[in-house]
Structure 1
């Protein structure tokens, strides 16, 4: 049995919540962790130095997008995605499956793989399990995701059962084709929708290949199902995943969902939400989301979030940031993006600290109490220059 290139050390449990360390070829990651998404080899609007400053320990790259542009072959000529993007810390690449399947009517699923049309020029393309792994081998990421079928949200049992079985067959093909098993860790993806027994089926089939996997992801959540369904499935399946390997919840970046996931034993999460909503003028605060583009903040001389120690909150006022966004200035989008990423990255760092101190539930309850105040909070409400603080 060969040594896996990505390993996990569990340091402390507080209930099912876990604090640990993931070791990769490009460094260690303290968990639980939020991973900013760098779809095209960059986290939108952020420099490497800013990502390091706000505390990012790992970022994502998107297999589908980088395959189409600038191509994984070109990136390989630069020595891989780390050298191409000047990011020296760990990188996780998704399989490209979610993007392929989200194209809907312009894709066709076969046992061999998926035919689809490029969103760039409409040209016909094909990604198989082998092709997905080949692309990720070229990209040189620390963590490689298996190519799976991403079922639509609220899929029926009748749809999910053959989908899970196909995902298992594709997983075996990915394992067989992987050309850099000592340099890149493979993560399996557990599917099964909102059905506990189908989640068990998916995991039971995948764990037969456990010696080839450095970790396990939970896919097919946060895709339109009810919150209670997502939480129910997390509570059911997460503690069943191997305790000696990292557990990754894909596509979740809502603070309350993240804390729920941590409570059930999730170690890693990612989402485009902090950058996407930031560019459109919405920011996270400890009292809930704030739509900074609203006219009511034009004369507000406070930072985005009191008590936040990020570069933006230490240096800029709401009224100025609103002005930048309304004027279409790129700096406004960069500032809101920076703050949002800092908020989620450090939410997980604080959750980790609470786990190590056996205080995670108290931490979670205090966060929820404040975050749920929303418009009731004086801090969220607009304030004009000159008012008493």
Structure 2
């Protein structure tokens, strides 16, 4: 496992780098399609490999633990073998999913008792157990078990939660030393910065996380309802503290504009369900703004889905045809929209990388933010 920082923009804090793992090279900045339950919704693995071609995708410990279960994961030889994906995988530890359960979980020092959203059965996650589960799943990058604070939350709660996350982090690190990797490639570990939207807490947490000297570092607890300006402010504070020679991952973010603004602040890695979820509801992202393909205005528009031809579906299908598929409730419509949105997100970060290397990022970003902030 190795991270090479290749170039830093002269006008912003944007970076271009490479993460090398046992499953290949990840060029940063990168967007990771979300494959929560060993599947990126609506996309066949062949299309994911050939048409979207992300360097890394994301799976989720909570969901994979519940089904198919860890025994199946190990029998298959890990998540890569199970889902037929030979690229990189990152697993979120399940902290956010446990947070989302609200009334169906109880947080205490030892860990979290929770009830399955599937059948109501009772389960327990401790930092140690989550590390063992992620060893069995076998992702290339694994995350610490943390508590994700809601927004808004008062200062006292945010501090208690942050301190608990730090204590859990120490337990994760201790346990990883005792539990060897199960497969024939290394796993990189990322701790997570918390602290809600309080400047001093974010600084404290970033310093604590930086001192662990982990392979990379993540920023959690954002994109949970706070205004975008607060998200950017927290990212800037944290990026100024986290070591420059290690990759930085902003969890669960976000819109195309969010991604470009955070790249400018020094973030390297992103994931979000927005491109796939919005696609299934007929919302398309393009370089010139967002399209609600269900609107009648597209009924007789025989132009490509995106005039720039960013993905293969943009050259094969028209807006009128895609609108027809949604009107007829054909699954193919959701599939085409999903491939388009994921393709656009990957095009966005890849183009950002090119602009960073060429010294054109700031001008390009300003233009793209203005263009994308429109409803077509």
Instruction: Please indicate the TM-score interval, normalised by the length of the shorter structure.
Output: over 0.9
- Residue deviations 1:198-257, cap 9 Å, x none? 0111122223321xx111001011111111111111121113211111100000120111
Shift of 1:172: 0.9
| 1:202 and 2:216 matched | no
Instruction: Look up the SS of the partner of 2:222 in the other structure.
Output: coil
| 1:7 and 2:7 matched | no
Report the more deviating stretch, 301-310 or 81-90. 301-310
Q: Counterpart in 2 of 1:383? A: none
Given that residues 310 and 347 in structure 2 are in contact (C-alpha distance below 8 angstroms), is that contact kept between their aligned partners in structure 1? no
Q: Identify the match of residue 162 of structure 1 among 139, 153, 160.
A: 160
CA RMSD of aligned residues (A): 1.1
Aligned length: 368
Consecutive unaligned residues in structure 2, runs of 5 or more: none
Given that residues 16 and 239 in structure 1 are in contact (C-alpha distance below 8 angstroms), is that contact kept between their aligned partners in structure 2? no
1: CA distance, partners of 2:39 / 2:124: 25
2: CA distance, partners of 1:346 / 1:308: 11
| 1:107 and 2:105 matched | yes
TM-score normalised per structure 1: 0.93
Shift of 1:362: 0.8
1:133-148 equivalence runs, <5 A = 133-148=131-146
| 1:38 and 2:54 matched | no
Q: Counterpart in 2 of 1:50? A: 47
1:93-104 equivalence runs, <5 A = 93-104=91-102
2: CA distance, partners of 1:192 / 1:305: 40
1:226-305 equivalence runs, <5 A = 226-305=227-306
2: CA distance, partners of 1:180 / 1:360: 42
Q: Counterpart in 2 of 1:318? A: 319
Q: Counterpart in 2 of 1:218? A: 219
Q: Counterpart in 1 of 2:114? A: 116
Shift of 1:309: 2.9
2: CA distance, partners of 1:94 / 1:325: 32
Given that residues 19 and 352 in structure 1 are in contact (C-alpha distance below 8 angstroms), is that contact kept between their aligned partners in structure 2? yes
Q: Counterpart in 2 of 1:385? A: none
Q: Counterpart in 2 of 1:18? A: 15
1:173-192 equivalence runs, <5 A = 173-178=171-176, 179-180=179-180, 183-192=186-195
Instruction: Look up the SS of the partner of 1:252 in the other structure.
Output: coil
